[in-house]
Structure 1
């Protein structure tokens, strides 16, 4: 099994807010229509300044081992060299959800 050193920036919409998080593992989940995110990465707290947005995300995702995000909520996924500052911003009027496609048919 190869050692993963890649870091991914994932932007997704949740309840009219745009979330920007960083993680080491991002892939299509076994559950149809979901993206799976594991190993969230948060910036080190070596400075005295505290970013309330990042602290909010750290409290939301700090204890989460794995998160399943609906595929239509994903805005973009980028592979980056190093993690940035995770943040939450207002998404009203900025992001249009991708249209859903029907799931596999059971016959």
Structure 2
């Protein structure tokens, strides 16, 4: 079986924070309005310096194999050649989440 060599950087907003993850699987998903990401790739630190936001991400997604992110929370998805550092950054007060859902059923 061939190894999946695609690597994606997924950036999204959740609870006032910007998440940046590296994953090998990205798809539209089976649930309408969600992007499915899976096969998380974590940096294996070889130095003594440990990034607390990276460790927070690893703890948050420790038991997760697939996650569904609402489309309106996605900032960007890039296919990359080289892995960077997964991290969480605090958003400034000037950035807010998209206020309305993408799909609103008509009554």
Structure 1 segment 1-107 matched on structure 2, within 5 A:
3-92=3-92, 93-94=94-95, 97=98, 100-102=101-103
- Paired residue secondary structure (1:54): helix
Q: Scaled by the length of structure 1, what TM-score is found?
A: 0.86
Please state how far the C-alpha of 1:90 moved relative to its aligned partner: 1.5
Contact 1:13 1:73 in 2 (8 A): yes
Question: Per-residue displacement from partner, 1:83-105 (whole Å, max 9, x unpaired)?
Answer: 11111111232465386432677
Contact 1:25 1:39 in 2 (8 A): yes
- Paired residue secondary structure (1:55): helix
Cα distance, 1:77–1:22 mapped onto 2, change above 3 Å: same
Q: Quick one: distance in 1 between partners of 2:82 and 2:14?
A: 24
Instruction: Compute the RMSD of aligned alpha carbons.
Output: 2.1
Q: Quick one: distance in 2 between partners of 1:40 and 1:98?
A: 29
Q: Which runs of 5+ in 2 are unaligned?
A: none
The total of aligned residue pairs comes to 105
Q: Scaled by the length of structure 2, what TM-score is found?
A: 0.86
Question: Per-residue displacement from partner, 1:35-83 (whole Å, max 9, x unpaired)?
Answer: 0010111111211111101000000112210000001000000011121
